[in-house]
A and B are shown apart, each in its own frame.
Chain A
C-alpha cells in the first residue's frame, strides 16, 4: 500500500527544501516529487543501498567483526575515557537534538569538539566575528532582491534548488521570476550553437600554439541595467550556474580579495589607477558597481571558493565590508552557502550551550575557542588528540590525506549510517538511522531558520538514532568514571590503612 508524505524536508544541503512529496510502499521510499537529483539519489536509492551499515563492528586483529550494540558502546566509552584528549568531530548531518548531547559528551570528557564548519565556512564564521554581517532570510531575498550575485559557488551543483526556490527563478512579492527570460536565452543559445557548429565545419581546424593564460572576461551585458532580477556570477571557472547568469565574470584564482577591494573602492566613489584587477578590467567592475548601487535590494551568496582559497577568512571579511558599505547607498545583504544540511545547526547548538560555534575545547573544565588550535585538522596535524569520534561526517573522504594518516595512529570511533570512507577506517563502527528519513529532529537552514525533519520510514531493526548512541556512550562514560573514582578512593583508603 502506498502512503504519501507531504511537506517532507530534504536532509542533504543547507537549502532544506521542505516541499517534497515522498511515496512510501512497504516501508520503502519509492518515489520523490519536487526534489533535485541529489535528493532523489539519497532518498530513493542511496539510503537503502548495499552501502548501509547494518550492525555495530569492532576491529579485532585488523578486521572489522560484528558485535552487539552493548559491546560497541562499552568499547567506545572505554576508548574515550582512556584517552587523555579525545576529539569529537562531525555533527553536521545530525539533527540538533544529537548535537545537543554531543556538547555534553565533550564537556564530560574534557576533550575537543569541532564540526565540519572548520573545513567549510569556518573562515566565514571568523570573518563574521571580526566585522559582523548584514544578512537576511532566503525569503526576504526571494521577495525583494533584484540583483543576485553568486561568488565562488556553484549552486547548480552544490545546492541545486537554491536558484529556483530562493533567488532568480522564483516569484516574490516585489520581484518576479526571471525563469522565462532564461528559457528564451537558452533557446537563443542553442540556435547559436548550431550556427557555431556549422561555421566550424566549414573552417580549417586551427590550434593556437600557446593557449591564452589569463581568463577572458566578457564585457557586462546591457541587461545589467534592466529592471527586474539580474544575476551575476563570479568564479574562477565557468559553471552551470554561470551559464544561466546574466553576466559571468571569470576571475583569476586567488585574486578574490583584490577584486573585492577594488569593488569596495568603487562603491565608496574612489578612483582606481590600474586597468585590471584579477583579470577583470576596471571599467567592467565600474559597471558592476553601478548595477549594485542601483539595485533596490542586492544579495551576495558566496561559497567555498572564497573560504578555501588564499586569504581565507580575509576574503569573506572584505566581501562583508563591501556589502556593509553598499548599505549606505541601497539595501544589500550577504550570506554564506552553507553545505551540510545542519552545519548551521551545529554552530547554533554549540553556541547557545558554550558561546562558541566550533573549534571548542573543554580540557580546562570550561569552554574555550580557538580556530587554528582546536580545529580538527590542526589537532590532527600536531598529533594532539589520542582518540577520535567521528559522527555524521566523512573526513575520510574530505580531509587532507595527512590529517587522516595522523588520525589512524589512535583509536577511531565512527557513527554513520553507511560505509563511507571514515566508517571503513573505524575501530568501533556504529550503524545509525538516517536523519530526516528514519529519524525526526531539528535542522537549521543556511539562513538559521529551524525546520523539523520528518521520519517517513522505519529504520532496519536494531539500528538506533545517533542521539541515542551518543547518549548511551555518555552514560557509559559516566559509569566508568564513577567506578574509577570509587577504585581510586578505595585505593587511597588501602594506602592509608597500610600506613596506619
Chain B
C-alpha cells in the first residue's frame, strides 16, 4: 500500500487537543502512523490548508427500504438533479434522496468518510445491507429499530431485562447492526391499529407497559450489552407543538440510568422535539429549555436535525407522525409502511420554506440549540437527511454556525413572525473551526464509540479531509461564503490511506466497510423451542431465513464486544 505524507497543513484534531497546529500527518497501510519515509511516500503539500479527520455522520438515512420507497415515490425529485456516468463513476440522480452511488460520491466530496444509517426494520435488514454495498467511498453502519419489537416489549413488561438483553444481542448480530434505535416508543405498536401514545406514561395497547418503561428498560439493556453507542432515541410526540416537555421528561427518565461515567442516551434530530407553544398558531421555540437542561446534565448527547429550506422528502419509522404530517401538510403524497411485530414507517415529500412561519422557526430552533448548548461534545451536526434537508447542504449549516453574518442574511429572508420569535439575534456565539470539527467528526465519533474514527492520532483509520481554508489568514465568520464552498468540496479526501478525491474530483473508487457488532453474551444465545414457536407466530419469514448472512456484506468490519449478561 502506498504511503502518504500530508505536509504543513493546519491540523485540527480535537480528540488529541490539536487546534490549528502546523504539522505533518503520515499514513501507511490505511492507518495514521508516526512517520513514513518521505522519499518513498506520496507527499501532499497542505500548506495553507486545513487538515481534519474524515467527517463522521451520526444520523443520515441513506439506504434501506424506507429510503428506497422514497426514491421510487419521487421521479419529480430526480429530474432536477441528474448525474452523468463517467469513465470512473456510475450515473444516478438526486435531489433529496440521491441514488446509492451518488450518495457515496457526494459524501466523499465533502470530506466525509463515515455515515450511520440510523433506521432499519430488522426484517428488511438484508435490503439495507444490499444498498450499503452500493454506496462507495464511505464506511457505514446501521441501527436496528427495536423499541416496538414484540419480544422486547414482552420481556420488558415482564421485568426481565436480562432476557430482553439476550434477545437484543441476537437481533443486533442477526441484522448486522451497530446500535439500538428507538422511535416513538410504544407509538409504533399502537399505530398497528391506527392509534398513538401521547405521553411517557400512556399504556401501550395490548402490552402492559408504557413508553417510559421501554426507554429506561432499553437504556439499561444497552448498558448490560456494553454497546459502544447509547440508545439512539427519536422521542414520543415528535413534531407536535409543546413536545419539548416530553423531551425533557424523557431525558429526566434517563437520569436514573446514568452512572456518572458516559452518556446513556442520544436524542436524535432534537430540533423536531424542541417545539413550544400549545398549538400551531402559537408555535415557538423550546430550544432555551432544552439547552438549559442539557447544560446542567451530562448523561445525554444529541444531534440537531437542522432544517435547510429544501424541497425534501421526510421519512421516519414514526408512522403516526407521518400521518399527522399528511393531514397537516396539505395532503401531499403519503406512504405508510408497517412492519409486522417490529415497526412502522412513513414518507411524505415536504418543502421547508423560509416564508412559512413554522418552517422558519424550525430552522431557527436547530441553530439556537447548536449555539445555546455550551459543550460542543454533546452536539452532533445533522440534518436528519433527508428530513431537514439533504446531507450535501451541511456546509450551509456550518456557515450559519460559524458566522453570525450568514445566519442574519438568511433570517432576513424569513417569515416576519418567525423573525420576531427567533432567539438568534440574541446569540453572538460563532463556532470556531475547532468546535466545528467536534460536531462533525470528533464528538460524533466519540458519541458513537468509534475508537479509530474522528481523529488523526497514531493508529486511527487514515480517513482524512483537506479543505481549502487557511485559518491563519481567513476570518471565517466574515468571509463565510468561500469557507462554505471549501467545505462543500474538499481539496483532498483520503479513505483508508487512499486518495479518493483530489482537486474536488473523484479519482478512485473503493468500497466502504460495514461495521457491525458481534455482541457476545455470557451464555451463548441458544434459540429454544419456545422462541422458534414464537418466530413462526410472530413473523411470516422462517427463523432460518431471517438473519443477515455474510453474503450481504461486501466488506464487513466485525467489532466483537463482551456483554455483561
Q: How far apart are the CA atoms of A451 and B124 in the complex, in Å?
A: 9
How far apart are B84's CB and chain A's nearest CB, in angstroms?
4
Q: Which of B91-99, B229-237, B476-484, B504-512 binds A?
A: B91-99
Question: Which of B72, B335, B538, B542 has the most A CB atoms < 10 Å from its CB?
Answer: B72
Q: Bin chain B's interface residue count.
A: 35 or more
Residues of B contacting A452 with CB < 8 Å?
126, 545, 549, 551
Q: Which residue of A lies closest to B150 (CB)?
A: A173
Q: Is A7 a contact of B542 with CB atoms below 8 Å? A: yes
For residue A6, CB closer than 8 A to chain B, the reply is: yes
Most buried by A among B77, B206, B539, B545: B545
Of B68, B93, B336, which is within 8 A of A348 by CB? B68
A130 to B332: give the CA distance in the assembly, Å.
9
B78 within 8 A of A: yes
Known: A107-B90, A353-B101, A369-B78. A140 touches B545 (CB 8 A): no
Contact B124 A448 (CB under 8 A): yes
Does residue B63 face the partner (Cβ distance < 8 Å to A)?
yes
B341 touches A135 (CB 8 A): no
Does B82 contact A367, Cβ atoms closer than 8 Å? yes
For A129, the chain B residues whose CB sits under 8 A away are: 72-75, 333
- B92 contacts A333, C-beta separation under 8 Å: no
Are B336 and A104 closer than 8 Å at their CB atoms?
A: no
B544 interfacial contact with A, CB 8 Å: yes
Given A125-B72, A143-B341, A366-B82, CB of A132 within 8 Å of CB of B193: no
CB <8 Å contact, A9 and B130: no
With a cutoff of 8 Å between Cβ atoms, the chain A residues found around residue B193 in the complex are 144, 296-297, 331
Within 8 A of B (CB), among A347-367: 347-349, 351-357, 362, 364-367
Q: Are A134 and B541 in contact (CB under 8 A)?
A: no
Give the complex CA separation of A366 and B83 in angstroms.
Answer: 6
Q: Which of B68, B126, B348, B540 contacts A132 (CB 8 A)?
A: B348
Contacts of A356 in B (CB 8 A): 71-72, 75, 78, 93
Q: How far is the CA of A351 from the CA of B340 in the complex (A)?
A: 24
Tell me whether A142 and B340 are in contact in the complex, defined as CB-CB below 8 angstroms, given that A6-B544, A352-B100, A448-B69 are known contacts. Answer: yes
Residues of B within 8 A of A128 (CB): 72-73, 333, 335
**B496 interface contact, C-beta 8 A:** no
- Report Cα–Cα, A144/B65, bound state, in Å: 22
> Does A197 interact with chain B (Cβ within 8 Å)?
no
Interface string of B98-128 (1 = CB under 8 A from A): 1111000000000000000000000110110
Q: How many angstroms between the C-alpha atoms of A338 and B375 in the bound complex? A: 52
A173 contact from B84, B99, B537, Cβ within 8 A: B537
Which residue on A lies nearest to B103, using beta carbons? Answer: A352
- Per the bound structure, the CA–CA distance linking A367 and B542 in Å amounts to 37
- Chain B residues within an 8 Å CB radius of A144: 192-193
Given A362-B91, A449-B123 in contact, is the A331-B541 Cβ separation under 8 Å? no
Is A490 close to B, CB under 8 A? Answer: no
Residues of chain B contacted by A297 (CB below 8 angstroms): 192-194
Q: In the complex the two chains form, is A348's CB within 8 Å of B101's CB? A: no
Residue B304 at the A interface, CB < 8 A?
A: no
User: Does A96 sit within 8 A of B, measured CB to CB?
Assistant: yes
A142 to B323, CA, bound (A): 22
| B199 contacts partner chain A, Cβ-Cβ < 8 Å | no
A18 at the interface (CB under 8 A from B): yes
Whether a CB of chain A sits under 8 angstroms from the CB of B134 is: yes
B92 touches A355 (CB 8 A): yes
Q: Is A327 an interface residue (CB 8 A)?
A: yes
Q: For the complex, is B339 an interface residue (Cβ under 8 Å from A)?
A: yes
Contact of A352 among B73, B134, B191 (CB under 8 A): B134
> Which B-chain residue is minimally distant from A128 (CB atoms)?
B73
Q: Measured between alpha carbons, how far is A389 from B71 in the docked complex, in Å?
A: 26
Within 8 A of A (CB), among B263-314: none
B85 within 8 Å of A (CB atoms): yes
**Contact between chains at A355 and B78 (CB < 8 Å):** yes
Instruction: Establish whether residues A19 and B93, one from each chain, have CB atoms under 8 Å apart when the complex forms.
Output: no
Within 8 Å by CB of A19, from B74, B130, B542, B551, lies B542
Chain A 451-462 interface 0/1 with B at a Cβ cutoff of 8 Å (1 = within): 110000000000
- 0 or 1 for each of B199-211: is its CB under 8 Å from A? (1 = yes): 0000000100000
Q: A135-B335, A331-B192 are in contact. Are A352 and B71 (CB under 8 A)?
A: yes
* Cβ–Cβ contact B72 & A347, under 8 A: yes
Q: Which residue of B lies closest to A136 (CB)?
A: B338
Closest residue on chain A to residue B340 by CB atoms = A139
Chain B residues in 8 Å Cβ range of A368: 82
Cβ–Cβ < 8 Å partners of B332 in chain A? 132
CA distance A353 to B341 in the complex (A): 29
Docked Cα-Cα span, A133 to B345, in Å, equals 12
Closest to B64 in A: A352
Interface residues of B in 509-536 (CB under 8 A from A): none
Chain B residues in the interface with A (C-beta under 8 A): 63, 65, 68-69, 71-75, 77-78, 82-85, 90-93, 97-101, 123-124, 126-127, 130-131, 134, 150, 191-194, 206, 323, 327, 332-341, 347-348, 537-545, 549, 551-552
25 pairs from A and B in contact (CB 8 Å cutoff): A9-B545, A18-B545, A128-B72, A128-B335, A129-B73, A130-B333, A132-B332, A134-B334, A134-B335, A136-B340, A139-B340, A324-B334, A349-B130, A351-B72, A355-B77, A355-B92, A355-B99, A356-B71, A364-B84, A366-B83, A366-B84, A367-B91, A367-B93, A449-B541, A450-B126
14 more A-B residue pairs beyond the given contacts A351-B71, A353-B100, A367-B92, with a C-beta to C-beta distance below 8 A: A107-B91, A130-B333, A138-B340, A143-B341, A165-B540, A297-B192, A330-B194, A348-B68, A352-B68, A365-B85, A442-B126, A449-B123, A450-B127, A452-B551
- What 10 pairs across the A-B complex have the smallest Cβ distances? A139-B340, A331-B194, A132-B333, A136-B338, A355-B93, A7-B544, A134-B336, A450-B126, A139-B540, A355-B78
